[in-house]
Chain A
Amino acid sequence: MAAFCRGRHRWKRTNCLRVLTRNLTGKYDYDLVVIGGGSGGLACSKEAAQLGQRVAVLDYVEPSVKGTKWGLGGTCVNVGCIPKKLMHQAALLGTAVKDAKKYGWQISGPICHDWATMAEAIQNHVRSLNWGHRVQLQDKKVKYLNVKGSLVDKHTVKGLSKAGKERILTAKNIVIATGGRPNYPTNIPGAVEHGITSDDIFWLKKSPGKTLVVGASYVALECAGFLTGIGLDTTVMVRSIALRGFDQQMAGLVTDYMDAYGTKFAWMCVPKRVDKLSSGALQVTWTDTHTGNEHKDTYDSVLWAVGRAPETKALGLDKLGVQLRKETGKIVVGADESTSVPNIYAFGDIGEGRPELTPTAIKAGKFLARRLAGRSTELMNYDNVPTTVFTPLEYGCVGLSEEDAEKRHGKDGIEVYHAFYKPLEFSVAERDASQCYLKVICERGGDQKILGLHFTGPNAGEVTQGFAMGFQCGATYSHLLQTVGIHPTCAEELTKVNITKRSGLDATVTGC
């Protein structure tokens, strides 16, 4: 009798285990459902599929206020990095054509730029990228659904199509990679009705004309930069400082260059209202916070670049208890991209404290996919991420700003090597190089480990990329000195930098 009782308990336990296992394999439609088909979402879903997981990715673009919408690929492909860099290139080519005359090219008369030609070419390229991503997903056996995803419970996602049809998917794991969208300053009358954002600028069929860019983030400065470069009357309205979060000395060089090259700046100004005139032009009223005076001017377009908001509202996160950071609205995530709900993960722009960059989203997405497939335990390393601001004078950097280095190590704990240099190509072109500058912030004493590297100049992104690898390897100032420069380049000046800020000596590079 006793033996039989013992046996019965054991049967109950093993049967429970069998039912649990059956639920884990085959109960869910997918091993992984990714909400968001941008840089992060696509990388994560493709990697997971390659590792044998059953994956679905849901991508949906809610049209902007102005009605702009786009295809698969997210912000970077459609309304960010890609079209931005191409328009930046269009602007640089305008400057290059001007320089060309000094190099002997016979160019008759003033050159002018046609927005429609540029926009069509760029938009076509973006569409080819949308298609390329679509083919890749299909090829890698990722199920793609053009539906707006939201969470029903921790294993169930609802997808709503444009036509209003609903579809339910169940998943073992859910990943949120919905990114962000530009903010509208809703407290400014006329802002929403009459203004546009970065969601719209790259898809305009006609030139934006005389433009007011409100904001001083890299989005604002990059847009104002290329608009100026293609010949448009452009003003940047800055509330307080430019490139908040970036090294402020470098930010100053960037804006000084833009100012010298024709971008107008309205510093310490805040817009009050936007009205549409009978002519169709936009009248902006603003306050100069320095003097307290009110000013008005008319523009063809007003571009709001006042920050980006995370796409979390329509996800149903509060229902599931996914924790958000109140100040930013972003999802609180762990080092492994986990959220407060066990099988729900979030990464990319939507993650609190994460860089809003494509390469980090892609890498984090791949690592997450590998961990979820049980193939790896490696976490994403968010340190030492290099970046570049593609303003007319480009600014590339990796590591700490001088302000942050001082905070961490004290002013006496760091040594800043710096130099003003002149790109060789500027000489014949008779271009002003006053803002071409670089600095290497090192620990003072010891190995003089490099804490931060900053560079303004042509092709800053190309220059910085290589040095970022050295940085990742823990490069020191002596490593830099041991590195032989490539001549003649701008990058070589980083290997030759030897004047310290502390010395107070003139940091202008003289000839070879």
Chain B
Amino acid sequence: MPHYEEVTVRGYDEFCQAVSERKGKDIFAYFSGDKDAQGKSWCPDCVKAEPVVRGEMTHLPQGSVFIYCQVGERAYWKDSNNDFKKTLKLSGVPTLLRYGTPQKLVEEELFKADLVRMMFTED
């Protein structure tokens, strides 16, 4: 039984819904390009980063929430007006952020397990 809650969502509305249902919790959100039927994302960095992030999840704080969010297809993502870019201010995928704080790791930073561990274990 893991010490954190994992939630899987797809798209901006589902993401906001998941967050609003968990007010007051320490929420970590991981944004990735959509995966195809074979489970492979169109975003090559996301493919590389996911096992690194998953490898550090045992270090998530007790009682925290981990939201795995697929942002959409490549075309949706490339549109600079998409909700994730406009409202959440995401600059790229993959992005790992701690909701409500400026703590964020993007793209190549997510290839480094020690940075992910640092985010999960420090205040």
Contact = CB atoms under 8 A, between A and B. Distances in A.
Interface stretch (A126-134, A240-248, A351-359): A126-134
B115 A131 contact: no
B102 A138 contact: no
A127 B102 CA distance: 6
B27 interface: no
- Prevailing SS type, chain B contact patch: mixed
B101 A127 contact: yes
A134 B112 CA distance: 14
Top 10 closest pairs, chain A to chain B, by CB:
A128-B102, A127-B102, A131-B102, A131-B103, A138-B118, A138-B115, A124-B102, A138-B114, A135-B115, A139-B115
Interface string A118-147: 000000100110110011001100000000
Contacts of B21: none
A134 B105 contact: no
- Prevailing SS type, chain A contact patch: helix
A124 B100 CA distance: 10
Contacts of B102: 124, 127-128, 130-131
B51 to A, nearest CB: 20
Given A134-B122, A135-B118, 5 more contacts: A131-B101, A135-B105, A135-B115, A138-B118, A139-B112
Contacts of A130: 102
Interface of B: 101-105, 109, 112, 114-115, 118, 122
20 contacts: A124-B102, A127-B101, A127-B102, A128-B102, A130-B102, A131-B101, A131-B102, A131-B103, A131-B104, A134-B122, A135-B105, A135-B109, A135-B115, A135-B118, A138-B114, A138-B115, A138-B118, A139-B109, A139-B112, A139-B115
Interface string A130-171: 110011001100000000000000000000000000000000
Contacts of B109: 135, 139
Nearest to B123: A146
A256 to B, nearest CB: 40
A415 to B, nearest CB: 52
A138 B104 CA distance: 14
